[in-house]
Amino acid sequence: MAHEIHRSDVLVLGSGLAGLYFALEVAERHSVTLLTKTVPESSNTQWAQGGISAVFDEDDSVASHVDDTLRVGAGLCHRDMVEHAVELAPALVERLANVYGVRFDRLPDADRFALGREGGHSHRRVVHHLDTTGAEIVRGLLAAAQRHPNIRILPHQMVIDLLSWSKVDGSRGCFGAYSLDVPSGQVHSHVADVTLLATGGAGKIYRYTSNPDVATADGVAMAYRIGATVGNLEFMQFHPTCLFHPGAGSFLVSEAVRGEGGILRRKDGSALMDGRHPMGSLAPRDVVAREIDGELKRTGEPCVFLDVTHLDGDFVIKRFPAIHRRCLELGIDMRTQPIPVVPAAHYMCGGVQVDTRGRTDVPGLLAAGEVALSGMHGACRLASNSLLEAVVLAAGAAEICDEFRRSAPSHVAQWNDGDTVDSDEAVMVSANWGEVRAAMWNFVGIVRSNKRLERAKRRIELIREEIREYYQRHRVTRDLLELRNISLAGHLVIECARRRLESRGLHYNLDYPDSEPAFARDTLLAKRQGAVP
């Protein structure tokens, strides 16, 4: 098989907000290669509807935003990261708008941002572009990146593993990655002095998710395999309101709909969250998702309903044009009919451990965005803090990039196919894909128990053994590599959940229904320490 070695100063893995912003910020002084799994527009950022949280309202304050984040994070947020991010937020939002041309909504006849409100927020502080904020951010940043002479974007690159070195004295580092060029089937080496992981989330390890197909936990799996510390993977956020319809796919109904007055209702029309939480339908996501899950299990109904029929119809269309259009395509007029919704896996609050500037504990390897565990989100993410964390970490990583880089070696071992052959049993890959996702949904979902976690552990370990054998015998394909990653990520989620003997935030265990002060700490795993085989 032909093999190519590509060299650049900086390698970026991922084309969402974190990857694009970092690439643009460092491209003024370095050559940048950006790899994306499919096309550059395909990322979790692209699908973000709500917006990015920042304090702009004169009645709001940094202290209030910090307090809201800490409260929703259920005791596990790192205050230094939260304060750092919230303080930087307004300036970074302004930079996205004024430097990179992101068209956030503004108030009529005023040069001020229009601000929305979402679950868990005490004030309006969500800067947005209609209900397609992520797509607008990607549009602005991608256009700038495509124009930049120092940025090379390579699509359809499925990263196989990170390139790393380690010595007997304990020193180690990362200097790039192997990638499968999917159209040609060739494996390439991408060598760089510093690598940024911006590979996004892990929603596809679950049967039902709001995430696009690219969200297969690639970054967490690859980082763990070279010895980086990962953690808090038990905290998978399930978004309460994904559109329930056989033709809907993984379409999310933004939390901003509830922020503008939408009410969650049962089939009989009664308000689901009345008496359940002081914020009602605007309660934090972990609370709402558990209430919906419990209601569906208790009644056997397939969904609950999000009702905005009491709001002005013209306002609904203007504020949520994409959601309104998609619902209409499926025969639902949200102006006159409640929207059927169910929870689905949405956001990974854990990830690869980093500091406030995106440094991992592997020299030369940075991480930003959903793949990173910075301490911003704790045990449950406050709505619209995800895009904020992504740009804060990307900006910080760009600042310290030069000091954190390590000189890449002059010689790089070529990818060796060995005696592998083309797959003749693709059904094994597709079947195991389904089994991993079913096991995670059934046993490691919104509500867990010790018995469910042990069942999931046994099933995932059997699947992982099959995958290891298959991987050794067959040439790599995107499906096989993604299966390898989701099975390892599933294993790590289960291990984190088994170690947290309490309920906190997004992790709810029937055998330990209360929070325990002894577990007010991160759950960290590192392969080099022998924490997980």
- From the candidates 139, 172, 265, 285, give the one annotated as an active-site residue: 285
Q: Of 37, 152, 151, 146, nearest to 100 (Cα)?
A: 146
| Count of all residues that appear for the chain in the document | 533
Residue 288 burial (CB < 10 Å; 0-12/13-18/19+)? Answer: buried
The DSSP result for 180-197, as a single string, is: EETTTTEEEEEE-SEEEE
Q: Of 116, 55, 114, nearest to 260 (Cα)?
A: 116
According to DSSP, the β-strands at 3-7 and 186-191 are parallel
Q: Of 52, 228, 40, nearest to 133 (Cα)?
A: 52
Which distant-in-sequence residues (6+ apart) come within 8 Å of 388 by Cβ? 52, 53, 54, 85, 86, 89, 92, 376
- 8 A C-beta contact, residue 219 and residue 199: yes
* Integer angstrom CA distances of residue 481 from 183, 284, 378, 475: 15, 35, 30, 10
Strand order through the sheet with 194-197: 151-154, 32-35, 10-13, 194-197, 365-367
- 8 A C-beta contact, residue 181 and residue 156: yes
Q: Residue 3: beta bridge partners?
A: 187
- 8 A C-beta contact, residue 56 and residue 125: yes
Residue 285: active-site member: yes
Catalytic residue numbers read: 285
